[in-house]
Structure 1
Amino acid sequence: MKRKLAFLWNCIRRDRKHLCHLLLIGICDIGLALLIVGITKHLIDVASGNSVGVLWKQITLLLACMLLSVLLRGLFSRYTVWLHNELRNRLIEHFFTLLLRARWLDMKKFHSGDIMSRMEQDTDGVVNLLVVSFPQFVLTFLKLCGALVYLYIMDGRLAVVLALLVPVVLLLSKLYFKKMRSFSRLLKKQWSEVCQFFQEIVQNREVMKALMAEPACDCKLSHLQVGFTHTVNLQNRFAFYSNLVVMLGFVVGYLITFSWGLYRLENGTLTFGALMAFLQLVTMIQGPSLGLAQLVPGIIVSYTAIERLKELEDLQMETPCRFSLFKGVESIEFRNVSFRYRDGKALLNELNWSFERGKMYALTGRTGCGKTTILRLLLGFINPDAGSIHINGNGRQTNIDAGTRINFAYVPQDYALLSGSIRDNLNWGKPQVTDEELIDVLEQAGAGFVFGLPEGLDTRLNERGEGLSGGQMQRLAIARALLAPGEVLLLDEFTSALDSDTERMIIALLKKQVEHRIIIIVSHKRAVMDACDCVYQL
């Protein structure tokens, strides 16, 4: 619990002042509500002859208080919306930055659909807790206390009787909390499964259509939704009966107050104005009590959201390193490097390899032997279990880590193009790039087809580069890598989507670049291996 509270305190650290302002507005409104009860009592007593006063002055004062209350509530609502948006944006930015800087192996534990669910729904849950539920809890508690104190001044015995009902409500809320928390956890898990399945099917829709698997997809989604709906129905049924018990308690409280007021009115110990004040105060007591009970589901959802976001918050970050850019990388050396993934067999065992400037290298071997793992080690995504990897240049030697990643330009097997223009995608390699540089690098990568497109560099691409052929997307990915500052070029099956003519052209272009680079290629193709100066077999 302490860790969760510390997490919330940290989330709100830049907005604590604004939260205090929000609470201050709410407290002023509570004060006005109690003042309105007093004015209404006095106004009725003046009208019925039980008190002395000027009627029009009391009506004017009542109207002024009501108008001010309306103004405060409007201000409270507007301030809440503004603070909600500010805090939500800040939390999303925080977790976005955190996820980008988390260790690669730790991130592999989470499905991308589950991460999106946490980023969208759970951040909303935490923001609602801090900006909506917490202020409402504080203000309803203060309103409850204020109404009980006012009622105690008017009739101590009635106030004590009603006050005894509050612990009963809180006890029921505690039991309710435990049960609803288990429902909330299950619902979050089931909804994440729906999001994961939906995302995977949409991303692989061509494969599903080719397999004629649409009916099976419909069936699977329906099955997931049926499970989610069943849990929602169980939760609603439990909430219905729980709220019914609480409401019956409030009805009993109102009847006690009304009966006691009529008894005192009949005996002449209570004025009609005081009776109306009684009923108003009871409403002010029951309203906050019901409000506290109704806040419980939202708090439970938020509590579960905190637990899920805390799992992301607890991700291990990459060790902070200063970027170490080598102008003139001479070589990269593997010295007795061994590596295995968690709970897996050893992939690499005491590798002793060397990569030198001005040469092209091919990494080949059976599927799953560790070729892509070599690239991850070079990029500093993972660290060797034993041995070391050094990058040499500028008369110095440095261990490979996140800080040396800037020396590498990477072309993944799946291209990794984003929605946006071709220019936007190339700018990821070098943000401040000129059109002349773009034209030059596109020619180097054999991507001159861009100049034949109607909008050229400003041609819009869909998600994952859809709108271009596989070969065109691959060449754009190579062009983006050539723009990056790193002199070591890593290509993972980069010719997989290229025809033989384009493959030969790209290899020839890379050979022209190799004088000032180290080029490492993962490939099974004989043409690629024949073009390389050295082939490492895994």
Structure 2
Amino acid sequence: MQIKEYILWLWKTTKGVRATMACNTIFGILHVGTSIFFIWTSKHLIDIATGKSEGPFVLFVCIIVVCVVLQQLLSAVIKRQESLTETKLANRLRHSLFIHIMKGPLTSSENIHTGDIINRLEKDVNIVANLLSHVIPSGCVTSIRMFAAFIFLLSLDIRLAGIILLIMPVTLLSSKRHIHKMRKLTENIRITDSHIQIYLQDNLQHRTLISALSATNLASQRLFSLQNILYRQIKCRTDFYIFSRTMVQSGFAAGHTTAFLWGVFCLWQGTVTFGTVTAFIQLANQVQQPIVKLGNHIMAFIHTFTSVERLNGLATLKTEKQDTPIKLGNMPGIRLENVYFSYPNDDRNIIENFSHNFIPGSLTAILGKSGTGKSTLLHLLAALLIPQKGNIILYDRKQEAVASPQTRCNIVYVPQGNTLLNGTIRDNLLLGKPDASDEELHDALIVSAADFVYELPQGLNTPCRELGTGLSEGQAQRIAIARGLLHTGGILLLDEPTASLDKDTERILLDRLTESVLDKTIIIVTHKQSTAQFCTHIVNI
């Protein structure tokens, strides 16, 4: 991304919170005004106390107290608003990216590991939210603070102001080489951090396999190696950052020392009052401290540049065309005409010149060896994948429609394996039909031979932990089928629904499906001849 694209991306992200950011900046400016006024008041108060000038001593004391109280109140308001703005920004950005990814086609994010996606949605989103809610408003306020303090110092002593200006290490902060190197170091750290997230997620999800292979020590060693790489990268960036910060703080120390010695010298010469000397020191701090702070803000911008690029990588993933759903009548059919399909970056056709008509109300078994494209065919029927050639058409007695995300409302797809989400059994069932009654849930569980749920101690409220822990593969699969039956689509796609079932349970499930599900066109991918025998049609791939 170029700088212009980077700024434009950040600007779009602030939509909805720009007014709040502006208010935070205004509160910050008020805080600056209060601080400068405090310095002016303290100067006069000291001069009154030392007899160098006259004025209402009590009034100036009251003003000092009011300034301190106002600064504390404004600081509290600013901190509160920054925290709420950061949370709101992070939630909105994370939500929009989540929806964008979920609306993408099946192959849109296949080159990005889910661990990497989660890492971006968590850490990179938080970095960007912090920049927009805190760093940018604070940077504006800091610049104004530095400018206002310099003007005040200029009005007191033009020579000291000139010296302070010369000491400012602006060239170091704006060094192109400095920015480029920090950005590269940050980019490497974020990539390694994602690799660690991916590794942790993979190993935790498959810890049973790793334990069974006695590979826990190997997994631990590999994690240790990744963490060492991250440690060295952070050490390198930290050393470079500390060197740069030390240079800036050296300029700050030089400016502070210069202001102090200059004030002592002028006081010795009798050209200034003691109150003016204290103003010199305070104003020098007000000029120098913002320089250090702006240096930190520049570092934050550099760090965020990498995060913006990583999030933009998610935001630019392709999405499916969103349009009005095309709802066909009950029990539609689906026809394939000379369909070809191959995955991206793969010249081999998984599906080649395939034609078949799944007539309305039919019960069809799709048989074939592993790797022949049976599951891919179901993805094509559900428009989760789009063929390179040929047509897939859904039809009823009145209309036809080419398979697309808009026709997916007619499809009920039950994938192979455990697809239960974290939550209760009831939560998983309601994903198929959010407003389903207990009676409808009961009927779906009966048809799918999942009525064992009512024998569990907590029944429908039994928790389904990560990857369905606590339930067998067969139990989880039957609950998933019940969830699919609750959906209103007229075409039911089942991918290996009996793979984890014994013969008796398989027969019960197929008997109930064939007897009860009379309003759907059913297509079953299976490798079992016993399952195919229940079907009215068989397609061999």
Asked if the contact 1:430–1:483 (Cα under 8 Å) also holds between the matched residues in 2, the reply is: yes
Equivalent residues in 2 for 1:48-447, closer than 5 Å:
48-166=50-168, 168=170, 171=173, 174-344=176-346, 345-447=348-450
Cα deviation 1:15-69 (Å, max 9, x = unaligned): 1111111111000000000001100111111111111112222111111111111
Report the Cα distance in structure 2 between the residues aligned to 1:160 and 1:378, rounded to whole angstroms: 75
Amino acid in the other structure paired with 1:258 = F
SS at the partner of 2:268? helix
Report the Cα distance in structure 1 between the residues aligned to 2:180 and 2:399, rounded to whole angstroms: 60
1:35 to 28, 34, 37: 37
2:472 to 465, 469, 473: 469
Query: 1:174 Cα shift?
Result: 4.4
SS at the partner of 1:468? coil
Amino acid in the other structure paired with 1:213 = A
Cα deviation 1:365-398 (Å, max 9, x = unaligned): 2222211111111111121111111000141000
Report the Cα distance in structure 2 between the residues aligned to 1:113 and 1:189, rounded to whole angstroms: 12
Cα deviation 1:330-364 (Å, max 9, x = unaligned): 32111111111111111112211110122211222
Amino acid in the other structure paired with 1:442 = L
Gaps of 5+ in 2: none
Deviation larger for 254-263 or 121-130:
254-263
Deviation larger for 247-256 or 179-188:
247-256
Asked if the contact 2:332–2:490 (Cα under 8 Å) also holds between the matched residues in 1, the reply is: no
Asked if the contact 1:122–1:306 (Cα under 8 Å) also holds between the matched residues in 2, the reply is: yes
Query: 1:153 Cα shift?
Result: 1.1
Report the Cα distance in structure 2 between the residues aligned to 1:281 and 1:257, rounded to whole angstroms: 9
Asked if the contact 1:103–1:315 (Cα under 8 Å) also holds between the matched residues in 2, the reply is: no
Query: 1:172 Cα shift?
Result: 5.3
Asked if the contact 1:329–1:392 (Cα under 8 Å) also holds between the matched residues in 2, the reply is: no
Cα deviation 1:187-220 (Å, max 9, x = unaligned): 1110111110110111111111111111111111
Cα deviation 1:219-267 (Å, max 9, x = unaligned): 1111111111111111111112221221112222222222222222222
Structure 2 match to 1:532: 535
Asked if the contact 1:326–1:393 (Cα under 8 Å) also holds between the matched residues in 2, the reply is: yes
Structure 2 match to 1:512: 515
Report the Cα distance in structure 1 between the residues aligned to 2:102 and 2:466, rounded to whole angstroms: 20
Report the Cα distance in structure 1 between the residues aligned to 2:61 and 2:524, rounded to whole angstroms: 86
Asked if the contact 1:92–1:119 (Cα under 8 Å) also holds between the matched residues in 2, the reply is: yes
Query: 1:416 Cα shift?
Result: 0.9
Judging changes above 3 Å, is the alpha-carbon distance between structure 1 residues 170 and 18 closer, same or farther for their aligned structure 2 residues? farther
Asked if the contact 2:339–2:389 (Cα under 8 Å) also holds between the matched residues in 1, the reply is: yes
Deviation larger for 193-202 or 460-469:
460-469
Tell me if 1:498 matches 2:501. yes
Report the Cα distance in structure 1 between the residues aligned to 2:417 and 2:303, rounded to whole angstroms: 37
Asked if the contact 1:336–1:386 (Cα under 8 Å) also holds between the matched residues in 2, the reply is: yes
Cα deviation 1:420-461 (Å, max 9, x = unaligned): 111111000100011111111111111111111122111122
List structure 1 segments (4+ residues) > 4 angstroms apart after TM superposition.
Answer: none
SS at the partner of 2:522? strand
Report the Cα distance in structure 1 between the residues aligned to 2:393 and 2:323, rounded to whole angstroms: 16
Asked if the contact 2:413–2:493 (Cα under 8 Å) also holds between the matched residues in 1, the reply is: yes
Report the Cα distance in structure 1 between the residues aligned to 2:268 and 2:23, rounded to whole angstroms: 46
Report the Cα distance in structure 1 between the residues aligned to 2:180 and 2:209, rounded to whole angstroms: 44
Report the Cα distance in structure 2 between the residues aligned to 1:164 and 1:138, rounded to whole angstroms: 22
Q: RMSD value over aligned CA atoms? A: 1.4
Amino acid in the other structure paired with 1:359 = S
Judging changes above 3 Å, is the alpha-carbon distance between structure 1 residues 274 and 346 closer, same or farther for their aligned structure 2 residues? same
TM normalised by structure 2 equals 0.97
SS at the partner of 1:353? strand
Deviation larger for 122-131 or 447-456:
447-456
Report the Cα distance in structure 1 between the residues aligned to 2:397 and 2:4, rounded to whole angstroms: 50
TM normalised by structure 1 equals 0.97
Amino acid in the other structure paired with 2:492 = L
SS at the partner of 1:52? coil
SS at the partner of 2:533? helix
Cα deviation 1:126-172 (Å, max 9, x = unaligned): 10000011111111111011111111111122212222333535545
Asked if the contact 1:357–1:516 (Cα under 8 Å) also holds between the matched residues in 2, the reply is: no
Report the Cα distance in structure 2 between the residues aligned to 1:439 and 1:328, rounded to whole angstroms: 22
Deviation larger for 98-107 or 12-21:
98-107
Asked if the contact 2:332–2:396 (Cα under 8 Å) also holds between the matched residues in 1, the reply is: yes
Judging changes above 3 Å, is the alpha-carbon distance between structure 1 residues 417 and 257 closer, same or farther for their aligned structure 2 residues? same
SS at the partner of 1:388? strand
Amino acid in the other structure paired with 2:330 = G
Asked if the contact 1:358–1:514 (Cα under 8 Å) also holds between the matched residues in 2, the reply is: no
Asked if the contact 2:367–2:526 (Cα under 8 Å) also holds between the matched residues in 1, the reply is: yes
